[in-house]
Chain A
Amino acid sequence: MSANLSAILYLVSGVLFILALRGLSSPETSRQGNLFGIIGMIIAVTVTFLSVGNFSSGFIYVLIFLAIGGSIGAFIAYRIPMTAMPELVAGFHSLVGLAAVFVAISAFINPSAFNLGTPGNIKLASLIEMAIGAAVGAITFSGSVIAFLKLQGIMSGAPITFKGQHLLNALLLLLIVILTIYLCSTQSANLFWILIAVSFLIGFLIIIPIGGADMPVVISMLNSYSGWAAAGIGFTLENTALIITGALVGSSGAILSYIMCKGMNRSFFNVILGGFGATDQKSQSQNKEQRPVKSGNADDAAFLMKNASSIIIVPGYGMAVAQAQHALREMVDTLKKNDIKVSYAIHPVAGRMPGHMNVLLAEANVPYDEVFELEEINNDFANADVAFVIGANDVTNPVAKTDPQSPIYGMPVLDVEKCKSVLFVKRSLSPGYAGIDNDLFYKENTLMLFADAKKMTEDITKNL
């Protein structure tokens, strides 16, 4: 296959990837978009086979390895529960990162296969691109592994911080730059290995100080990194499909990180430098005195709901943990039979990854046109009779609007307290992730329902 034809076909597959993302602008077009993505991938892989043109025994092995990886991937995709989506995405990011590292290593050992020169005499530009691809890939890999372990609960979600952490990270970053410069002048294989090792280390160090509820930012950020790694390799291979895709994914992840940071009213650096819950203990420790709380049972909740004409449900990470989304849908079905208007309000950072709650509700067959984003629904709380908060906490805290001392001051929150009454499902009065007490617990119109989210929802349904 001529080089020009394959370059054009790679461009076609890049355009198909753009259309794949474009399709996600609405749920109706999204499935078609995914199909475009699949076609783009098939074109890219086929063109590569044809342009290498080597159908010897190696080709058979490529197909075998492709089948092995493909079946593992398909198996995971069908078995994974929707609540585990953040872990899955983190795990997948790590694979892209590691693949980028492997491709860079292979290109370094055998540059002639990629038309990049000969070992020890690789073209300067290619060497820089290779080093960037390998370094970013390695950071993506080790960072994603840590994110995966934290999300999976194998590693504690608490931020791990130590003295001199930021200085160490800065020095290591500097070291990467110096190593790259030396690598370019000496072409030494040892330097290349050290560069990769240092990058693995820094990916690890960047993610350990970031706590559990900041995971939406971390996952988006790693998404972005995996794109930049792909783009770096794309430059090395002079492949347009990879360059376009890398740029798309890189900017997509960056935008998601931005949206998540905005949802928490925190700067990107503030999140990355880590240690949220640990730093702001002082402002709430003085008002530790016991304040009265009204608590109720499923019966009371069902009574309130039955007499309401409109209800807004506020789901959060707790709903995912308790796997309560199906029970919730059943409750809502019963409510709707009684002609009660029900809608869902989703905060941008609810859950552990962007859009996490939407997927869970979709899984439970909640129609997406009943689910609203913060800005769309926030004014409706004042007119609603009941707000049902299930598994959310900090995103409903009115302190974010009233107390400038509070660490979450300025964060956009759902105006739950404006509802006539608030039902708050929670296991205990313990503060949320940010480590601050939620004023909502103590409001006159709040009824606390202390129970497991799933159990409580089922009980309410029975009582309706």
Chain B
Amino acid sequence: MEIDPFIFRLSIFILSIFVGYYVVWSVTPSLHTPLMSVTNAISSVIIVGAIIAALSGSDGVVFSSSSIYGFLAIILAAVNIFGGFLVTQRMLAMYKKKKKDK
């Protein structure tokens, strides 16, 4: 009997929830704001769906009814990717240790 590929994806999903659970508990509370901005940036990997949608038009027709939604989604996701990673970087650069030389 063959296993539906959906089951494999579901397994990945469930296991990832557990990975996320343990990884996030180990995040230090002082970095919870960067955690939110970086999770925000990585969830914009939804851009892969947007790209597929945007390139779905047939030859010669770049903007079809479905590809327009793809293009719009690309803009939104791109704002998030660049904005999210850059603002995280900006925040993390500010976290400094006490200087040893007193």
Chain A residues near B (Cβ < 8 Å): 10, 13-14, 17-18, 20-22, 24-27, 30-31, 33-34, 37-38, 40-41, 44-45, 47-49, 52, 54, 56-59, 61-62, 65-74, 76-78, 80, 82, 85, 88-89, 92-93, 95-96, 98-100, 102-103, 105-107, 109-110, 113-114, 125, 219-220, 223, 226-227, 229-231, 233-253, 255-256, 259, 346, 348, 353-356, 358-359, 362-363, 365, 367-371, 373
Chain A proximity mask over B3-19: 1 for CB below 8 Å, otherwise 0 = 00110010011101101
Taking CB atoms, residues of chain B closer than 8 Å to A359 are: 33-34, 91, 94
**Closest residue on chain B to residue A220 by CB atoms:** B36
List the count of A-B residue pairs having beta carbons below 8 Å apart.
Answer: 377
Taking CB atoms, residues of chain A closer than 8 Å to B87 are: 76-77, 80, 85, 88
* Complex-state Cα separation, A230 to B93, whole angstroms: 28
CB of B34 within 8 A of CB of A114, answer no
CB of A61 within 8 A of CB of B54, answer yes
Taking CB atoms, residues of chain A closer than 8 Å to B27 are: 21, 24-25
CB of B13 within 8 A of CB of A243, answer yes
Interface size on B, residues (CB 8 A): 83
CB of A252 within 8 A of CB of B51, answer no
CB of B32 within 8 A of CB of A99, answer no
Given contacts A89-B33, A99-B47, A230-B45, 13 further A-B contacts (CB under 8 A): A31-B89, A41-B81, A58-B55, A68-B78, A73-B78, A76-B83, A88-B87, A99-B77, A241-B48, A242-B46, A245-B45, A367-B99, A368-B96
Known A27-B95, A31-B93; judge A37-B54 contact (CB<8 A). no
* Complex-state Cα separation, A25 to B18, whole angstroms: 17
| Nearest CB in chain B: distance from A176 CB, A | 21
Taking CB atoms, residues of chain A closer than 8 Å to B80 are: 73, 92, 95-96, 99
CB of A242 within 8 A of CB of B45, answer yes
Taking CB atoms, residues of chain A closer than 8 Å to B79 are: 69-70, 72-73, 76, 92, 95
Taking CB atoms, residues of chain A closer than 8 Å to B32 are: 256, 259, 353-355, 358
* Complex-state Cα separation, A420 to B71, whole angstroms: 62
